[in-house]
Amino acid sequence: MTGYKSEMDGYDGIIFLPNDNPRIPKSDIKFIKYKEDFGSPVEENTNGSKYHVAFFQRGDDGEFVFAGTFESIFSDPIVYVKGLNGSNVYGTIVRKHEKTSVWFKEYVKDLIKSLVELKEI
- Output phi, psi for 92, to 5 deg: -145, 145
Q: Cβ distance 32 to 15 under 8 Å?
A: yes
> What is the C-alpha to C-alpha distance for residues 65 and 33, in angstroms, rounded to an integer?
25
pLDDT tens profile 2-41:
556 678 888 999 999 877 666 666 778 899 999 999 999 9
Environment class of 107 (CB within 10 Å of its CB; exposed 0-12, middle 13-18, buried 19+): middle
pLDDT tens profile 58-100:
888 878 889 999 999 999 999 999 888 878 889 999 999 999 9
